[in-house]
Amino acid sequence: MFNTYQEIFNNRAWSYHQAMQSAPDARRLEFEIALDYLQPGTGQSIVDMPSGGGYLKQYIQDPTTDLIFIETTSEFAKHCPESDDCTRLIGDFDNLPVQDSCADRLSVTADQSGERGQSCKAIFRVTHVVHCKTTWPPDVL
Task: Mark out the alpha helices in 23-115 (DSSP H runs).
Answer: 28-38, 74-77
Q: Are 131 and 96 in contact (CB under 8 A)?
A: no
User: What residues does each domain of the chain span?
Assistant: 5-126
Matching CATH number, 5-126, of 3.20.20.150, 3.10.20.30, 3.40.50.150, 3.40.50.2300: 3.40.50.150
The rounded percent of the chain whose pLDDT value lies above 90 is 25
Which of the four pLDDT bands, split at 50, 70 and 90, describes residue 104?
A: confident
Q: What is the pTM of this model?
A: 0.76
- pLDDT tens digits, 39-77: 888 999 998 888 889 999 999 989 999 999 988 888 889
Question: Given the DSSP bridges, would you call strands 45-49 and 86-90 parallel, antiparallel or unpaired?
Answer: unpaired
Query: How sure is the predictor about 139, in pLDDT bands with cuts at 50, 70 and 90?
Result: very low
The 10 Å CB-count burial string (b at 16+, else e) for 5-29 is bbebbeeebeebbeebeeeeeebee
